Chains A and B, each alone.
Chain A
Amino acid sequence: MPFCSVAQRSPVVYRSAVALIVSSFAFVSFSSRASEPAKHISQYGHTAWRLEDGYFQSSPQTIAQTVDGYLWFGTPTGTLRFDGVRFTPFTIPTNKNVLSDTISLLGSSDGSLWLGTSGGLVRSYKGKVTLYPQVTGHIDAIIEDHNHEIWVAQARLGAHASPLCEVREDKAFCHGAAEGIDKPYAVSLVEASDRTLWVAHSNSLSHWSRGAATVVTIPGLNHRLGLSGIGSTLANDDGSVWIGMSSLGKGLGLERELEGKFSSLQLPGFNSEQIAAMALLHDNDGALWVGTLSKGLYRLKGGVVNHFGSSDGLSSDTVYALFQDKEGNVWVATSSGIDRFRSLRVTTFSPRDGLAAGSTSAVVATHAGTIWVGNEGALDRIEGNTVTSIRRKNGLPGESVTSLVEDRDGLLWVGIDNGLATYDEKHFSSITADKGESLGIIRSIVQDAKVEDMYALAIRDSHEHLLRIRNRHVISDAGGVETERSTTIAADPAGGIFVGLTGGQLRHWDGERFSTIREGGSDHAGNNAMTVDSDGTVWGASDYGLLGTRAGRLAVLDKAKGLPCSAVEQVIEDRRGNLWLHMPCGLVIIPRNEVREFWAKPEHTIKVRTLTVFDGYFSGPSSFTPGMALGSDGRVWFVNGQVVQVVDPEMLSSNTFQPPIHIEQVTADLIPYIRSETVNLPPLIRNLRIDYTGLSFSVPQNVMFRYRLSGFEQDWQEAGNRRQAFYNNLRPGRYVFQVAGSNTDGLWGNIGDSVTILVAPAFYQTPWFRLLVLASCLALLYLMYLARLRFATAQVQTRIMVRLGERERIARDLHDTFFQAIQGLFLKFNAGTSQIRKDDPARAVFVAALEESDRAMLQGRELLLDLRATMDTAELATLFAQAGEDLQDVHGAVFKVTVLGQSRPLHPLTATEIYRIGKEALHNAFRHSDAAHIEIELEYVSDALKLRVRDDGSGIDQKIVQDGMRKGHWGLPGMQERATKVGGHLNVWSRKDEGTEIEISVPAAEAYLVTNTEACPGWMRRFIYKVLALTGQPNA
């Protein structure tokens, strides 16, 4: 077996080189988190919005973020507002002095947006736009100083202009040559840490400190005189200033000025004199970002330079502006679009970051802190953020690296191709079987916790073999049949190894023999990987969940128990005892207390943290072990068959950034309404659309919304990541639209924004109109009722008149014929009787009979009179009033007629009787009671007609009651009799010297011409009841 020497660059030499560079350019480092290695730009999540995709009309030149959260991009054809999803043109109200091209932008701390155009300065604050007539130049820079004052640099004004202007309130004050400013134009502006201003011109800078300036000239830029020789400036904390120039060469490019001295920066692969820095940015991690004129983007940190250009996906190698938003995303404006770089929780090492190939098999972290990654054609080594590869040419004894492990002596065991080798940082040494044949594909290799023995699970001739290696020799092929279908092994901290089988079985090998710890089952099939945690639990990653075995107990953690899915590829425990699961649906972290809770309460649903593709995580299987590794610094590494990724558990603090939520616009029937506290809409809105947004720029598609339109719905609508709400056919009224949003980690904030929407009623939707309609309906019903009543009354009246006519005819007939005949007859009888002898007893009989007949005739005549005597009783009350007035001549009592209830047509015969009774009572009252007040009360109730005649006189004398009145009047008995005749009822109350009340009550059927039931046909009655019920009135 040949031993291969390693011909790679010595790590020691490399490290010292780094140290040298860092020390010589110590000012480069502004490290905030020293532990984090300098990130590659490619390890950021990168997204590009390109010109050719139609997002912009022209190249973005400048970027800003306002306090309300919006991002703004200035282009020569206008300014665009961006909410993470939508680009909305921002229009400056027309003013001939202000062009719409935007050269510079600033979102100041007071919430204003400042726009620098080629012809002036514009401030937009809460919808109000302010122009500054004092500033009319080409505004190349706008900054806010430590004192929150706004400063602008302007150019293209002419020979004697003042290029530096400060804004106070609504006015700008400009400073120029009088205060020592070198040139009448300025192209860049920066406030140094000592609060002086650096005003950049074409080939010089004015270092301005209120009222005076010292000029620094850069001779190399003289040929740029009149042009923008200085492209960018950036202040450092130490008082120095970066100056980016568009010309290259000695003392040009990117230079650092400190106390009047210029210096350049030389780093491996980076000579600042050859960098035309057009944009400069310090990010939150203390790294310096440099955007160049034609070489893309550089990120410098800790002496390490990383480059990202169009070949890496940057929209263009010509960078105009750099900006970091509140969430930490770095935005790059290039000649061809916008690029966003967002920090990912999961850092990826791919071939682009130096990995030898995109086919990772295993990862192991050494005690020394080195990460080894098994790959195709190489064993990759990651130190810091740098990847180096050991390939065959460097001594790798094969092509495909399989399993890896570091033994207690720090020796790296490397499964390679069909064999196994050790690596001691210099040489690989192969392990061979006694007979020299290969060991097979090493699927898994571990070291016994108690003894020096190594165990390897090898596949040879399609059979699994458990190899025991001592002193680099295979001493036994343990198991034989017993190791069939073994998939993975793990060291038992108590000695020996655990062996997982495809069926989910778990066995233990104590060096002598196998014992079965867990029987398998179809439900628990597949042991992809195993780990033993600090509590002694053996965890098996299977396609059906995480199989935990502890003190003979088996428990399965799967989707039902709270995992986002069930298949588990890898499992590892971190330094804090949390379990990390490599799963197809994400990298799942089970906190230690949840694991314990799970064992304590089997029914407990665990709460986990999941990192997904949005965090930079890629899933994928790894066939060899270990698929996950815990670095000496606590970071968790894992492979997925393609790349290797790493997460720092200490950097997983929850994202507490709450996206600002804004309701942007209310659109009703395609007409947009200006957003204000209250939006007034016209009547009859058919389609209402409300656009809202949540300003998070890292993963805008993960910002979820819920909204509610109070006044229309009670419950919140889950809108997902939709940023519009739609409503149809809103009734008139007052509504409040509220929207809340989550951040990208699903953390919900309070109600983010709300708007009151007033929908005006159409004339027919007003309450008045409804009342009117209701009133009209009721009136109509009443009219129908009246018409019906009139019709019924007319019918009954006709009937009555016919009957009355009949009575009259009968009366007349009786009178004219029958009575005459009888009378004639009686005369004959009389004549006959008179011829009977006076002493004849028959004569007396006849005479008596004839006398009786006279009385009978008289009665008959009276009846006839009655038959004919009907009267017009339409207005009983009026008749009584008239009668009372007449009677007042007799006795001057105060007389009053009262009608209660709705008067109704009365039956003529009944009414005649009632009138007669009433009049009789009135007569009595007026003539005999000597009352001061007499009143008559007519009450129409639904079931009866009541007549009351009362006085406050002397009361009825019993004698009068009994004897009756004068002729033609019939006294109380007569009244009683008449009342009874019409089915009524008479009540008399009288007390001496107190007065009298006579009440006649006649049932409705007798009294009224038409009763209720007759007036309304059934359907109408039911309808009326329904209407009454609808209007909420009690049944009338």
Chain B
Amino acid sequence: MPETQIIRVLVVDDHPMMRSGLRSEIDAQADMQVVAEASDGNEAIEMFRMHHPDVTLMDVRMPGLGGIEAIEILRKDFPRARFVILTTAAGDIVALRAFKAGAVGYLLKNLLRTELIDTIRVVHSGRRRIPPEVAREMAEHAADDSLSVRELDVLRAVSQGQANKVIASELGISENTVKNHVKSILSKLDASDRTDAAIIAIRRGYIEM
């Protein structure tokens, strides 16, 4: 591998300790260097335009502009930019959204220690990198019907522990409609009940934790 080729990395995370940890891990590599840090989506876009990093580690959930949204914006101007999603969840939905937005790597934060460097390298080399758990999850649900926007609303409410009646009044629809939505959600998520659906929704990333 060419020695002069330093992989320039942009670290985007709202948490300074996390950024600092990532920086020290990356900087510890001879062929990598953190060229900039950003704490939210907007800052990430600004830093990206300033430094044109090879690889951007992008946290999904941040105050202000989220990671996936930032990727979508940047990919319009920089179609070749390499983005790695940093997330705590192994849900397929977040992953799908991320990949749809243009991410090429997916890093679970609990696996950072072992996967971070490899992932940066793999992505930089032009390949994609998806953790096996996420890949399995995505494959498992590849054939699933996706949830409609309305169903997502209902699911969000359900996972907050709200009763059908409350959901109905909040969304301005009838209780029966809510029931139907819930039925459809359970079937699409293969959930045995509402609790199950809520847990699945969180796990799969329909809903952020």
Contacts and interface: CB of A to CB of B under 8 A. Distances in A.
B163 A872 contact: yes
Contacts of A912: 195
A854 B110 contact: yes
Nearest to A868: B209
A22 interface: no
B195 A915 contact: yes
Nearest to A822: B17
B194 A872 contact: yes
Contact of A857 (B18, B27, B110): B110
A882 B209 contact: no
A370 interface: no
B191 to A, nearest CB: 9
B20 interface: yes
Which of B13, B186, B193 has the most chain A CB within a 10 Å cutoff?
B193
B88 A824 contact: no
Contacts of A923: 192
B193 A828 contact: no
Interface in B177-205: 186, 192-195, 198-199, 202
Interface in B91-137: 109-110, 112-113, 116
Contacts of B202: 865, 868
Interface stretch (A297-305, A525-533, A629-637, A812-820): A812-820
Interface in B1-44: 13-22, 24-28
B24 A828 contact: yes
B169 interface: no
A827 B192 contact: no
B167 to A, nearest CB: 10
Contacts of B14: 820
Contacts of A868: 202, 209
B193 A821 contact: no
A811 B202 CA distance: 14
Given A823-B112, A857-B110, A869-B199, A886 B192 contact: yes
Contact of B19 (A824, A832, A861): A824
A822 to B, nearest CB: 8
Given A824-B22, A871-B198, A858 B193 contact: no
Contact of A919 (B13, B61, B193): B193
A919 B194 CA distance: 12
Contact of A871 (B22, B27, B194): B194
A835 B113 contact: no
B192 A883 contact: yes
Contacts of A820: 13-15, 17-18, 109
Interface in B65-85: none
A865 B209 CA distance: 8
A850 interface: yes
A869 B193 contact: no
Contacts of A196: none
Q: Is the interface of A mostly helix, strand, loop or mixed?
A: helix
A1027 interface: no
Given A824-B17, A827-B116, A869-B199, A874 B192 contact: no
B64 interface: no
Contacts of A899: none
Contact of A826 (B26, B61, B113, B162): B113
Specify which of B14, B19, B25 lies most central, judged by the most chain A CB atoms within 10 Å of its CB. B25
A827 B199 contact: no
B193 A831 contact: no
Contact of B161 (A828, A870, A879, A883): A870
A887 interface: yes
A887 B192 contact: yes
A822 B88 CA distance: 13
A827 B24 contact: yes
B110 A825 contact: no
Nearest to B209: A815
Contact of B17 (A821, A834, A869, A874): A821
Contacts of B26: 831
Contacts of A821: 15, 17-18
A217 interface: no
Contacts of B163: 872, 874
Nearest to A804: B161
B18 A823 contact: yes
Given A820-B18, A824-B18, A850 B113 contact: yes
Interface in A872-888: 872, 874, 879, 882-883, 886-887
A823 B21 contact: yes
B141 to A, nearest CB: 15
A843 B56 CA distance: 29
A831 B27 contact: yes
A280 B153 CA distance: 122
A820 B161 CA distance: 27
A830 interface: yes
A831 B27 CA distance: 8
B88 A827 contact: no
Contacts of B112: 823, 826-827, 830
A617 B13 CA distance: 134
Contacts of B18: 820-821, 823-824, 827
Name the residue among A817, A824, A865, A912 with the largest chain B CB count within 10 angstroms: A824
A156 B113 CA distance: 147
A824 B15 contact: yes
A858 B109 CA distance: 11
B21 A825 contact: yes
A858 B113 CA distance: 13
A869 B158 CA distance: 12
Contacts of B20: 824, 828
Contacts of B61: 816
B15 A858 contact: no
A266 B90 CA distance: 152
B24 A831 contact: yes
Interface in A915-964: 915-916, 919, 923
7 contacts: A827-B21, A827-B116, A831-B24, A864-B209, A871-B161, A883-B193, A886-B193
Interface of A: 811-812, 815-817, 819-828, 830-832, 834-835, 850, 854, 857-858, 861, 864-865, 868-872, 874, 879, 882-883, 886-887, 912, 915-916, 919, 923
Nearest 10 pairs of A and B residues by beta carbon = A824-B21, A827-B21, A824-B17, A821-B17, A820-B15, A824-B18, A831-B28, A831-B25, A831-B24, A871-B195
Given A827-B113, A830-B112, A831-B24, 6 more contacts: A817-B15, A824-B21, A826-B21, A832-B24, A864-B209, A886-B192
Interface of B: 13-22, 24-28, 61, 88, 109-110, 112-113, 116, 161-163, 186, 192-195, 198-199, 202, 209
